[in-house]
Structure 1
């Protein structure tokens, strides 16, 4: 009589792998299921005795030595209740096994599973797998089960099908002490509970497993024919043991038992290895980039990332942020390739998040690779399908990279009218999953990953040198330590700039010194150099690679997201790039907005704050690229005028007591005067500011009389004196400035040429035409040679010489020079620019004079 008292169903661990294993190490579960108890035998005792002989519990004492990364458990249940009822009862009891397994695997549903059954316990396993396939609640158990082992299990009972199987099962019960007439004997003898197992679809279901069927040569209950499942090919191993029905699963210390145990553990090890292979077949590496052989350094960042990713028992989200071109994507490419090597069971998915189109295509690729149901349908929400799939632990371990997650509105915006959710709502959640974002914006990084953010800074000179050497066709170039150090300093140790520079150097076979001279040349030439396209296997094919263009995306994002930050960036482009006092920046609507704007530029790594005074430094290449951006948007003139107005308004009258303030502003005032020099004839602010700077720099003890900033200020002061009609003083200062600039900067330096042009203009104003003409012709010749025939300084000299010749009534040559100057101004500045119009006006006046003379 079967007891109606409910009994505890549970898994009892007999061996558990080390708890110190890394999170992504593959931990395989092995569950052993015993068969029918001997009559009146305790359930737990039988669960142990089934696999024990002479005190040797081999799943605990021997198997872990072969499988150190496995968790081995015994299923404890009341078999009389399982095998003594109807087929429906049998199916329900199989569900109880599934439920026990499900509850035990909540930490990771996708962990590979090997099921092993003795005698009728194997039948229970088969029924459980049939149920699991048909029940979504237990589908993950079916998916995770890779291998099976049967010890004396009567699969079919020979050719007699389920009737014979039933008789075999009844014989097992008789062997265990049950009597004919007992309910359990009669139930088993009918064989009706095996209906599901003997259906054809069940056999097809088992074609995907690897299986070992053990049988005993002295087993009088289950024959060899009954004990084998009959899978084709090499998917099933049939192993003969020298044992009876009990001894086929329990081994003592005799020579015979040792031989049996060796066969068993060896074959279970095969199943374990096959389980790992089957799991690996479900693992995908969807990354569009190969491992970069030029990758250098960043070991501390890689170590930090790996610790973050594999530390928590939940979906870990980490964000990598840094300046565009600093190597965020390269760092994560190296990371995923290392993970692939260390954690072969971990799928890696790479999703470009530059825009919704590229992201949607990447989700389609993931859905296709994982064969997610329904992804091909036109109406499918592929992002939701991928999210749901990866959120199930049956998907296994995975790492998803969202590269270039710069647009926070894509991620955390409000749902659209059509119901489209922000991307953050589509992120999968799984204890086995990790997500890495790369972004240029630290604020976005914090919103996406909270405290788990890793900043990527500029390289050290030593690491940058190694990277440069790896990129060069002629690595010996780095042996010139001085030029190498100068080049890397000019490139601000930025990986993208280093790769771009080395590509140009390789193509043109030039030394570092030539590249440095190009960078130091005219601003337009430097921009052209930094705009050179080049090939880089570590970047997307459809994305512009050059340094000068890679930041344009960031500039536009800042302009749309934080207008005050964009205004600050534009203002800083018009002044010097270093040591910018925050008090000099334009005022915002509130202090909060001002702090937020500086925070935005800091978050994009465009500025750094000095710890002592809080002054800001703008990266030199960012400074140059911002000026280029403003020119591309036709905003340079307006922004430069606004900067001039702000600096002129803030610059104090120089006094001893405010010396610290005007000294901190002085270099920026000088820079903004240079940026707006072509407006000097129409701007009172320009002259006012130049005069104040001149007053500061007359006290040469501040910087020294030969300092370039002192010389530039002296030149500006001379221009102011000229405009005020103080020609003699202007001539004196111009001659002093010219002498010093020739000595300090050289005769062909742009500042020297500008001073020559200014001196010629002063001489012209005093009627010293012969000397002025000589000076103008010398200046024009040099500017054409050094700066080019269309450079603004050349055109200004040309216009001044034409004006001089007009005063001397040498109209023919003056006319030629006016036309050349006008053509150059129109091409570079446009026909409506004030300087172009002034040139036209001068020419028109000359033509009127010619008419009057005739």
Structure 2
């Protein structure tokens, strides 16, 4: 019997008969319209620094190395030494010298940021196929860059820590994974003349040049520390002079920096080259903001917990801060202290802010606010807005290791990680889904116990992720544990127990143990019919799965029989044609299954 369905906006659907096999939903976008290809341009998220100091021949070295087609160059040096500023200046100079050259700035602090930047490159260059949800954005960009018909391009990878590619890094050893020794450019602290020139550009020519020289020396000629100090002095003129700042800095340096550098949180231990001067300057800047603008200090406290890139205004809304970031933070401090552009500044600023919050017993308060805001903004249940999920995922990952004592905050944190894990699963980010589910499972084990229903649910979700990755043995181990615990706690016939049995059958099926899987799910369906009724969704779903498996078995048997008969070769041809049509038209589960069989037959 045919079934017709009406929808809004004069749309309708029509089902002819009943469908017993597996069904998957596919969205086929209309063909992309031909776009006018843009001229080469520069895409960099920072304006040019008018106070840039050339620093000898460093940029000449960069230009010389990068002038060779296909070259790769790495800037390496201490945190806060000014690598990003050098890269920004080089980008603008490269564009000025060669207007026909594309210049792209790509964030590479983690996989999500890298993918987001690659999508930005594809949009900027209007690469064909980029809007297809199934498109491999990395391959599209890669192929576009290698197309010999394109003009020249320069890509700057910013803030690479744990990736296999590198153009700028703090660590020489990491850089060598991508470049040779001859391609490294080591960036040292400024010399005395350049450091004084930078301070003078920020403050103007000081009346007391001796004090200015002493200050740059005390700041160890580190550009980030010099810029921070200049911003602090500028905000407090005429109450603060260079000499006054120097005296206060020396006093604070002896009292506070040792504690900061040995901070147990591990941030500075990860960057052991961090300079006392940078940390002390940042602490003084924060103290100034806290005294004059408490609301801005609160906002900086919240910001310090987020991933260092891509923080939207929506994420920063609290009861105490309903206006935007730009309205709360003093402009001069915002430019160099709180703005999210310069990675070196952000890392040290966030570290210093978190350390101060911990010493004052206020860190968990802001961690709770951070989780609350993220949970509020991260889409739940309906993952149509995948772009927003993608933007927020790095912030969720930054929250993985939080230790929240308050029960409500813990529950919100777990819900946030679970929502992000579901998105990662659905978007084929299996490794990220795994790390999220592992954290959820371990946290629930610690807080609730191994046998708690929520713990068992998270174990089942992790097993599902293993199954998606083809890690059948690991999936089976978890699923058996969940099943046996539920049998013991809830009984053999409880719906949750039957769900775990059903999941175990899926694992057996994936591993190729079809007969065992079918026997298990047959018993599961029988129990569900008896307990829940034939028409209950929890009965119909596994029954549909069982029917599809039986159809596959019949297909296999028929195919094997025909392979042995005189029409075997003809049958193979028919199967191959059917596979090509099915995969191209719908890509459904059965077509994929037959596609696998076709590969096997071709080799026979």
TM tier, smaller: 0.3 to 0.5
Report the TM-score, using the length of structure 1 for normalisation.
0.27
- Structure possessing the higher radius of gyration over alpha carbons: 1
* Structure with higher helix content: 2
Report the TM-score, using the length of structure 2 for normalisation.
0.38
Higher RCO (CA 8 Å, separation ≥ 6 residues):
2
